[in-house]
Amino acid sequence: MIIERGTFFEITPAEMPFNSGHVVLRSSKPLAHLADDEVAELAASLKRIVAKIESVYRPEGYNVILLDDRIEVVPRWCGDISFTALLGLKTTPQTPQMIYESLK
């Protein structure tokens, strides 16, 4: 399920989403090795997907997680961590397919 595919990146729903709208911008190589044009595409892709998440989900904020070969964008809302997190339970409001359908 690819929401957007660029020259250097693709955006997909997270395989195990933390929240509705959680997406991953995946690179074919480590982010530290990106050329300037690849970084520019990454920034433009990140800007577009955050705008799309904003229009669909209306989050109150974001966690943007920079990993070796990907960036994860997790929409956040006040109170989105509840007793389920304290008890070690996890509920996922949307499946990856539902996120894909919402953001494609």
pLDDT at position 18:
87
**Structural domain count, the chain:** 1
* Cα–Cα distance for residue pair 102/8, rounded to 1 Å: 23
Q: What is the CATH number of the domain that holds 14?
A: 3.30.428.10
To the question of pTM greater than 0.85 for the whole model, the response is no
Is the model's pLDDT at 90 over the cut of 80? no
* Cα–Cα distance for residue pair 27/6, rounded to 1 Å: 10
Amino acid at 59: P
Strand ranges (E), 1-104: 4-5, 9-13, 23-27, 61-66, 70-76
Is the model's pLDDT at 75 over the cut of 90? yes
Mean pLDDT of the chain: 90
Query: Can you give the residue range of the structural domain that contains 31?
Result: 4-103
- CA-only gyration radius of the chain, Å: 14
| Angle, helices 96-103/36-57, rounded to nearest 10 degrees | 100
Q: For the segment 29-58, what is each residue's pLDDT rounded down to a tens digit?
A: 999 999 999 999 999 999 999 999 999 999
Q: Provide the percentage of residues in the chain whose pLDDT is more than 90.
A: 74
Are 23 and 103 within 8 A, CB to CB? Answer: yes
pLDDT at position 79:
80
Is the model's pLDDT at 95 over the cut of 90? no
